[in-house]
Amino acid sequence: MKKKLKGIPEFKNEDEEREFWGTHDSTDYFDWDNAVVAVFPNLKPSTKTISLRLPVWMLNNLKVAANKRDVPYQSLIKMFLKDRLDAEMKAR
């Protein structure tokens, strides 16, 4: 027997919607057996600007290493951080 799905309410804002989905089971509102995987190829990951104080010698060494790889030093920092985070997550 097919389950009768409930209607999704209208939300005033994202906070209200977030609260709703945090306290309700989505299977009451969606038939996940018929779900289709969505692909969004043009989306860019969101980023946040931060301020990071580094010793001058470290920044200089990062710039030299980035220059050798022909990448901006900020990109090299992100690559180093990602590699380390991946290793940390794998170790868990």
Task: Output the pLDDT for position 12.
Answer: 95
Task: Output the pLDDT for position 92.
Answer: 84
Task: Output the pLDDT for position 39.
Answer: 87
What's the distance, Cα to Cα, between the start and end of the chain in Å? Answer: 42
Task: Output the pLDDT for position 1.
Answer: 63
Domain boundaries, the chain: 14-91
Tell me the per-residue pLDDT of 17-75, one tens digit each, with 9 for 90 and over. 999 999 999 999 999 988 999 888 888 888 889 999 999 999 999 999 999 999 999 99
Task: Output the pLDDT for position 46.
Answer: 84
Taking the whole predicted model, whether its pTM rises above 0.85 is answered as: no
Task: Output the pLDDT for position 60.
Answer: 98
Per the CB < 8 A criterion, the answer to whether 66 and 75 are in contact is yes
